[in-house]
């Protein structure tokens, strides 16, 4: 059992020319790798509320929202759920870092991907290769 930090990257459903974006950082403790990825998946899904707006049963203090909420006509909307094809970068803080893609069932190891980090305050973008 370990402590993991998992960066969740929304890489599915991209428009042409759009880059994947880091949307959350999930901190786990006392879990194995499988449990940690499942935990990050669960708490970046809108099951009973909104994970990114911290509403209902989806609110979780172990989830740091990295991306700005969606703004439309002056109203803020939460981010979408994590889906098949999205990516998780798992770091145990002790030298183990690996990248997994959300599969139809579970997670598959995958190559690192390019993604953007968008500052929620200034909307400036930093590109990263993980």
Residues 7, 22: Cα–Cα separation, whole Å: 7
Read off the pLDDT of residues 5-53 as tens digits, 9 standing for 90 and up.
Answer: 999 999 999 999 889 999 999 999 999 999 999 999 999 999 999 999 9
CA angle 49, 54, 57 (to 5 degrees): 45
The pTM of the full predicted model, rounded to 2 decimals, is: 0.91
pLDDT above 80 for 128 = no
Q: Which two tokens stand for residue 49?
A: 């509320």
Percent of the chain with pLDDT over 90: 79
pLDDT score recorded for residue 1 = 87
Residues 85, 103: Cα–Cα separation, whole Å: 6
Q: Assess contact for 129 and 112: CB atoms under 8 A.
A: yes
Q: Assess contact for 105 and 34: CB atoms under 8 A.
A: no
């Amino acid at each position: 059992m370990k402590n993991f930090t998992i960066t969740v990257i929304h890489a599915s459903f991209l428009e042409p020319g759009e880059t994947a974006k880091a949307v959350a950082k999930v901190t786990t403790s006392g879990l194995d790798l499988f449990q940690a990825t499942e935990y990050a998946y669960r708490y970046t899904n809108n099951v009973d509320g909104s994970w990114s707006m911290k509403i209902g049963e989806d609110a979780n203090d172990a989830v740091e929202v990295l991306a700005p909420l969606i703004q439309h006509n002056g109203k803020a909307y939460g981010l979408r759920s994590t889906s098949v094809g999205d990516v998780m970068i798992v770091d145990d803080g002790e030298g183990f870092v690996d990248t997994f893609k959300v599969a139809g069932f579970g997670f598959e190891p995958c190559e690192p991907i390019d993604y953007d980090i968008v500052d929620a305050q200034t909307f400036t973008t930093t590109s990263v290769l993980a």
